[in-house]
């Protein structure tokens, strides 16, 4: 395994053309080591969502490259991107994270539909993750029967169940109170470290930064490392 | 694990609602189809139910039984024509009658041995010379069966001695021997007495000789049963009209299913964005909707079928509804097809959802 | 409590429709298709009935007398001119006239066609009412409108029945019988045709006696029913009692009823989904001061608007269907029918909207403050 889990170079996104062109992200470069967990800070409109979308193979950059685990994703087709996301990237979103009609365990095992891992592997990993995340006795509950913190822990479990190289976390504490938010982020950091994953957490909450290895700031589309 | 199935299992309420709406539409379609089948088959059976391969009419009749007249000499001529193996008479007249305490509009058919209905469900054919009839099986819905007496207005009592399948010809249909038929007609319509000895059409079987050859040899109009049916005033048009209404109701079903999934997709666009972001391909999401549409249509169909059968039992016998298995199966196919078609409305919406919307909070 | 100015939600309901044209458009099309079915089925059933028994239902008599055994079936009722005389003597009968009917082949411009031939007293009870042209003398006829459209007859044309030449002098609307071109001739002309068609028949049978009445028709009908083998019905009753008419009426009433129920269910169902999706919006509007009444108005306005569009779509489709069905039925758009059915569908749909409104009233505005969480 390469020592660099993520290599971002000269990443640029320009929306529109000519006079109306807006540069959302400009020449962003960034490296992450295999077990590094960084915080991405920035005010709203700073370009952090655009940046993380490009890193997450959700958005095709105008210029620059993204390599995850040594693989360049910038030139991938939509289909290849989808498959790459399913196998190599784990996501934790701020809301609408879980499928409301699936149980906690099913929200993890649903990844068997898309991952290259076998159904059994995913099932075993799901059970193990639920145990570690303290959700063993909640595995058959639907999201609406879970607390906000529990839901985010299920989402962390789902992000990890396919054994991805990179975990992208988008404002995981937005709908949680401070204590619960801290607990969730602490757990997230621990899981990422223990599994030797690279992780990026988008947040605007400075209190969560203590659990990250370092922070990167983005202002007006430019990174300040 | 199929996402579509899981959703139905966990939130059955709203799927019950869409299935119910589809069910009502299927119910309407099935009732209409039963009316269409009942009207059509009930008014065309006489041409289908006999051993006759061809029907022979007088040349200017336009293949209409009521406008055709064939006298005894013509009968002999046709029977003696090369290639004709059997020939039998067929005539009909409509009159009022009473039976089992109820008033009826009676279609009385007169036939010979080789133009009588072949499918005798119960009892036997009428004896020559006897005041006996065999009735169409639909007549039994009115409580008329073997042993019942049917009394045409101003005519003699006719005893029911048999029940025949698919032998209807418009109203309450009864078949008598042709000579008995003439006797009844004379007493009910004395002015038609002058036509005694003639019939309206002939049913023939041949040794393979074609209709054209026989028409040429006899100078009469020769038609297949289907051609004779198509010449019946109104029968085909009625079928076309009612079936047109049936298919229109299925277009409504497709729109209803389409609307439902369009609304649901709209409601779930954030969920879809998340699913796509974590690597769920469009194919799987579309398959889930497709499965749901099929299930909603199938459940709706079962509901509509059950409802139509229950209502069918409650219908008065004057409503000529006939529920056929093959029609029900054909409409199941149409229902599933239209349901799937409705789901397609949502496919584009789902595939167009940008997975990047999952990031950055509620859209 | 502070008086909060009611929010004007009137335009919001329309804006929602405007912004989601596809969604509401599909619903309007569904309602429109169903309304088209309703219109079509009713128009066809009226047309069928008129062409089937119009001659019985809309003639000039106050009462039609049948042989009582005939169950009001024209062809089965066998009377004689003696019966006409018996009816004439009943108290309250102003005039009684024989009506004879037969199906017969006519030769029109070289082609043969089956027609229904009616022998009537031309200015007596039982003759057609909506006549354009002259009343027929001997050897002349008034024909119904389907004889014009289907058989190609018109005022001035001549045709032949059983060797008798007849000239058309008038056209009558709503005078069709048994789905055949229907021809009205003076009774004596009918007798001439009958004698030529059935030489040697002892008498010309009379099928009905047309009666005009002085005073209460019900009492006169009862008096006629007291006579042996006679029964008197109003033309409308006689038309309803015609075998086959009731099966048409019942079948189409059934279809109408089910279609109506489906319109209401579909509208109710979709507005309920739309309402549940918008509960937060409604709560927000309520929280900022919209009255419950105006929220109900929001839903009802949308339903009303959609039904009106649906009705227009349905009428448009019927108009488009008219040329396509000309071969089968000549139908037309009846504004009274459109109005009645439209009002019924509107009323049913608005009533079904009550489910959605109830759902809005069941939630309270405070939910907005807590982000809609329970």
Cβ of C244 within 8 Å of Cβ of B240? The answer is: no
pLDDT one digit per residue (tens) for chain C, 374 residues: 444 445 555 577 888 888 888 788 888 988 898 898 888 888 888 888 888 899 999 999 999 999 988 878 888 888 999 999 999 999 999 999 999 999 888 999 888 888 999 999 998 999 999 899 998 999 999 999 988 888 889 999 999 999 999 999 999 998 999 888 999 999 999 999 999 988 888 888 899 999 999 989 999 999 999 998 999 999 999 998 887 787 778 888 888 888 888 888 888 888 888 888 788 788 877 777 777 778 888 889 999 999 999 999 999 988 988 887 666 666 778 899 999 999 999 999 999 888 888 888 877 645 544 443 33
How, if at all, do strands B54-57 and B201-206 pair?
A: antiparallel
- Specify the pLDDT at position A91: 92
Percent of the residues in chain A that have a pLDDT greater than 70, as a whole number: 98
Shortest distance, CA C177 to any CA of chain B (angstroms): 14
pTM score of the predicted model:
0.79
Q: Which residues of B touch A58 (CB under 8 A)?
A: 277, 354-356, 358-359
Question: Which ranges constitute the DSSP H helices of chain B?
Answer: 3-10, 12-48, 72-80, 178-188, 211-218, 225-230, 235-267, 269-277, 282-314, 325-352
C41 contacts B259? CB cut-off 8 A: no
Give the residue among A41, A168, A148, A47 at the shortest CA–CA distance from B355: A168
**ipTM for this prediction:** 0.87
Q: Is the pLDDT of residue A37 over 80?
A: yes
Q: How many CB pairs under 8 A join B and C?
A: 140
The whole-number average pLDDT for the span B50-79 is 88
Q: CA torsion sign, B336 to B337 to B338 to B342?
A: positive
User: Once rounded to an integer, what is the mean pLDDT over residues A63-79?
Assistant: 90
The answer to whether residues B146 and B58 belong to one domain is yes
Give the A:B interface size as CB pairs under 8 Å.
Answer: 93
Answer with the one of B196, B231, B266 that is the final residue of a domain.
B231
Residues B37 and B50 in one domain: no
Mutate to test the interface with A, among B360, B362, B363 (most CBs of A within 10 A): B360
The minimum CA-CA distance between C16 and chain B, rounded to whole Å, is 14
* Confidence at residue B318, expressed as pLDDT on a 0 to 100 scale: 72
CB–CB contact C71 B96 (8 Å)? yes
Pick the last residue of a domain from B211, B231, B251.
B231
A182 or A1, higher pLDDT: A182
Domain-ending residue, one of B231, B265, B294: B231
Q: Which residues of C touch B103 (CB under 8 A)?
A: 71, 243
Smallest Cα distance from C169 to chain B, Å = 27
Q: Test A99 with B359 for CB contact under 8 angstroms.
A: no
The C-alpha atoms of residue C183 and residue C185 are separated, in whole angstroms, by 6
Mutate to test the interface with B, among A61, A93, A104, A170 (most CBs of B within 10 A): A93
Is B362's Cβ below 8 Å from some Cβ in C?
no
Tell me: pLDDT of B205 over 90: yes
From the list B6, B10, B359, the residue facing A170 with the nearest CB is: B359
**Between chains, do B64 and C114 touch, taking CB under 8 Å as contact?**
yes
Mean of all residue pLDDT scores within chain B: 88
C198/B194 CB distance under 8 A: yes
Q: What's the average model confidence in pLDDT over A48-65?
A: 91
Distance from the Cα of C134 to chain B's closest Cα (Å) equals: 31
Most confident by average pLDDT, A171-180, B69-78, C155-164 = C155-164
Total number of domains constituting chain B: 2
Distance from CA of C44 to the nearest CA of B (A): 9
Question: Is C255 in Cβ contact with B104 (below 8 Å)?
Answer: no
Query: Does the pLDDT of residue B26 top 50, yes or no?
Result: yes
What does the pLDDT read at residue C329? Answer: 64
- Give the separation between CA B270 and CA A96, rounded to whole angstroms: 6
Cα distances from C105 to residues B197, C111, C186, in angstroms, run 20, 10, 18
Q: Which residue from B minimizes the CA distance to C266?
A: B21
Statement to judge: residues B56 and B108 lie in one domain: yes
Same domain, B202 and B339: no
- Cβ neighbours around C50 below 10 Å, total: 20
User: Which of chain C's residues have a Cβ under 8 Å away from the Cβ of B32?
Assistant: 255
Q: Contact B279/A79, CB-based, under 8 Å?
A: no
Shared domain check, B144 and B193? yes
Inter-chain touch B95–C75, beta carbons under 8 Å: yes
B85 and B17 belong to one structural domain: no
Confidence at residue A148, expressed as pLDDT on a 0 to 100 scale: 86
> Domain range holding B131?
45-231
List the single residue in B271, B275, B360 with the smallest CB-CB distance to A49.
B360
Predicted pLDDT at C368: 45
pLDDT in tens, A145-173: 998 889 989 999 999 999 999 999 988 88
Q: Is B188 found in the same domain as B53?
A: yes
Nearest to A58 among B9, B11, B355 (CB): B355
Smallest CA–CA separation between C2 and chain B, in Å?
Answer: 34
Q: Choose the closest CB to A53 out of B275, B281, B356.
A: B356
Contacts of B286 in chain A (CB under 8 A): none
* Residue B50, pLDDT score: 92
pLDDT of the residue at B196: 63
Are both B264 and B200 inside the same structural domain?
no
Same-domain check for residues B55 and B13: no
Higher-confidence position of A17 and C6: A17
Cβ atoms of residues C324 and B248 within 8 Å = no
Distance of CA C52 to the CA centre of its chain: 12
A130 or B247, higher pLDDT: A130
pLDDT over 60 at B324, yes or no: yes
CB within 8 Å: A58 and B284: no
- CB contact under 8 Å between B277 and A85, yes or no, is yes
Q: For the segment B101-146, what is each residue's pLDDT rounded down to a tens digit? A: 888 889 999 999 999 999 999 999 999 889 999 999 989 988 999 9
Give contacts of A52 with chain B, Cβ < 8 Å.
359
* Co-location of B21 and B7 in the same domain: yes
List CB contacts (< 8 A) between B13 and chain A.
none
pLDDT at C55: 94
B214 and B89 in a single domain? The answer is yes
Query: Do C270 and B259 lie within an 8 Å CB cutoff?
Result: yes
Name all chains with 3 or more CB-CB pairs below 8 Å to chain C.
B
User: Would you tell me how many other CB atoms lie within 10 Å of the CB of residue B124?
Assistant: 11
Q: Do C252 and C45 meet the contact criterion of CB atoms below 8 Å apart?
A: yes
Residues B87 and B227 in one domain: yes
DSSP string computed for B54-111? EEEE-TTSTT-GGG--B-HHHHHHHHHSTTEEEEEEEEEEEEEEEETTEEEEEEEEEE
């Amino acid at each position: 395994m390469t020592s660099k889990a993520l290599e971002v170079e000269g990443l640029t996104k320009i929306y529109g053309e000519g006079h109306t062109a807006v540069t959302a992200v400009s020449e962003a470069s960034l490296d992450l080591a295999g077990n590094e967990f960084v915080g991405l800070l920035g005010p709203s409109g700073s370009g952090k969502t655009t940046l993380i979308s490009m890193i997450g193979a959700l958005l095709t950059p105008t210029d620059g490259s993204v390599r995850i685990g040594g693989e360049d994703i910038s030139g991938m087709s939509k289909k290849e991107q989808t498959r790459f996301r399913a196998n190599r990237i784990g996501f934790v979103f701020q809301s609408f994270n879980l499928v409301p009609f699936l149980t906690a365990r099913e929200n993890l095992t649903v990844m068997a539909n898309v991952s290259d891992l076998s159904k059994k592997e995913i099932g075993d990993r799901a059970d193990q993750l639920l145990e570690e995340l303290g959700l063993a006795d909640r595995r058959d509950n639907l999201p609406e029967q879970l607390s906000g913190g529990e839901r985010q822990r299920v989402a962390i479990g789902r992000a990890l169940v396919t054994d991805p190289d990179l975990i992208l976390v988008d404002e995981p504490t937005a709908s949680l109170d401070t204590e619960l938010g801290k607990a969730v982020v602490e757990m997230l950091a621990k899981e990422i470290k223990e599994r030797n994953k690279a992780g990026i957490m988008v947040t605007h909450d400075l209190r969560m930064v203590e659990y990250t290895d370092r922070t990167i700031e983005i202002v007006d589309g430019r990174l300040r490392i | 694990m199929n996402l579509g199935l899981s959703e139905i299992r966990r939130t059955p309420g709203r799927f019950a609602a869409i299935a119910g709406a589809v069910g009502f539409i299927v119910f309407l379609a099935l009732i209409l189809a039963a009316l269409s089948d009942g009207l059509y088959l009930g008014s065309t059976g006489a041409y289908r139910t006999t051993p006759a391969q061809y029907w022979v009419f007088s040349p200017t009749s336009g293949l209409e039984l009521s406008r055709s007249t064939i006298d005894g000499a013509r009968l002999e001529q046709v029977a003696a024509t090369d290639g004709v193996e059997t020939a039998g008479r067929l005539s009909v007249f409509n009159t009022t009658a009473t039976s089992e305490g109820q008033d009826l509009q009676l279609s009385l058919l007169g036939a010979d041995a080789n133009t009588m209905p072949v499918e005798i469900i119960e009892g036997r054919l009428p004896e020559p010379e006897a005041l006996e009839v065999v009735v169409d099986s639909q007549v039994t819905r009115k409580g008329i069966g073997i042993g019942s007496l049917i009394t045409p207005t101003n005519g003699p009592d006719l005893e029911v001695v048999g029940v025949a399948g698919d032998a209807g010809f418009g109203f309450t249909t009864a078949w008598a021997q042709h000579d008995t038929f003439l006797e009844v007609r004379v007493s009910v319509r004395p002015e038609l007495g002058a036509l005694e000895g003639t019939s309206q059409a002939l049913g023939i079987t041949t040794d393979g000789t074609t209709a054209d050859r026989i028409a040429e040899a006899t100078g009469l109009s020769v038609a297949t049963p289907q051609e004779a049916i198509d010449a019946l005033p109104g029968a085909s048009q009625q079928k076309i009209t009612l079936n047109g209404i049936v298919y229109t109701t299925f277009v409504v079903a497709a729109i209803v299913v389409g609307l439902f999934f369009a609304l649901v997709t709209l409601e779930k666009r954030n969920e879809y964005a998340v699913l796509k972001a974590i690597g769920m391909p469009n194919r799987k999401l579309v398959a889930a909707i497709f499965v749901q549409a099929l299930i909603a249509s199938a459940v709706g169909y079962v509901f509509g079928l059950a409802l139509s059968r229950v209502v069918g039992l409650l219908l008065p016998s004057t409503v000529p509804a006939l529920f056929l298995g093959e029609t029900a199966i054909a409409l199941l196919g149409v229902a599933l097809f239209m349901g799937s078609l409705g789901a397609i409305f949502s496919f584009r919406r789902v595939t167009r959802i940008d997975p990047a919307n999952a990031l950055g909070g509620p859209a | 409590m502070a008086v909060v100015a009611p929010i004007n939600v009137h335009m919001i309901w329309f804006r929602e429709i405007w912004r989601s044209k596809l969604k509401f458009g599909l619903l309007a099309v569904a309602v429109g298709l169903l309304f088209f079915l309703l219109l079509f089925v009713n128009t066809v059933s009226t047309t069928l009935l008129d062409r089937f028994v119009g001659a019985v239902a809309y003639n000039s008599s106050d009462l039609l007398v049948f042989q009582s055994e005939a169950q009001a079936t024209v062809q089965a009722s066998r009377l004689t001119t003696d019966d006409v005389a018996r009816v004439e003597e009943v108290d309250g009968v102003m005039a009684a006239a024989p009506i004879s009917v037969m199906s017969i082949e006519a030769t029109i411009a070289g082609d043969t066609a089956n027609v229904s031939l009616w022998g009537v007293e031309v200015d007596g009870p039982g003759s057609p009412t909506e006549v354009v042209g002259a009343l027929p003398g001997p050897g002349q006829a008034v024909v119904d409108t389907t004889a014009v459209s289907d058989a190609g007859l018109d005022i001035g044309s001549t045709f032949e029945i059983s060797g008798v030449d007849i000239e058309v002098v008038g056209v009558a609307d709503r005078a069709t019988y048994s789905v055949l071109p229907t021809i009205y001739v003076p009774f004596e002309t009918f007798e001439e045709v009958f004698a030529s068609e059935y030489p040697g028949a002892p008498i010309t049978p009379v099928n009905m006696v047309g009666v005009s009445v002085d005073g209460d028709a019900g009492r006169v009908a009862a008096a006629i029913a007291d006579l042996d083998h006679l029964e008197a019905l109003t033309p409308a009753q006689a038309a309803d009692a015609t075998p086959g008419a009731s099966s048409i009426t019942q079948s189409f009433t059934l279809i109408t009823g089910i279609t109506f129920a489906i319109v209401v269910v579909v509208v109710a169902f979709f507005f309920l989904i739309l309402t549940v999706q918008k509960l937060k919006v409604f709560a927000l509007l309520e929280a900022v001061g919209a009255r419950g009444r105006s929220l109900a108005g929001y839903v009802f306005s949308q339903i009303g608007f959609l039904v009106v569009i649906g009705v227009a779509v349905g009428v448009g489709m019927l108009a488009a269907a008219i040329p396509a069905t000309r071969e089968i039925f000549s139908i037309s758009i009846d504004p009274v029918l459109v109005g009645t059915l439209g009002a019924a569908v509107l009323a049913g749909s608005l009533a079904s909207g009550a489910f959605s409104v109830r759902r809005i009233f069941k939630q309270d505005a405070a939910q907005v403050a807590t982000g809609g969480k329970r």
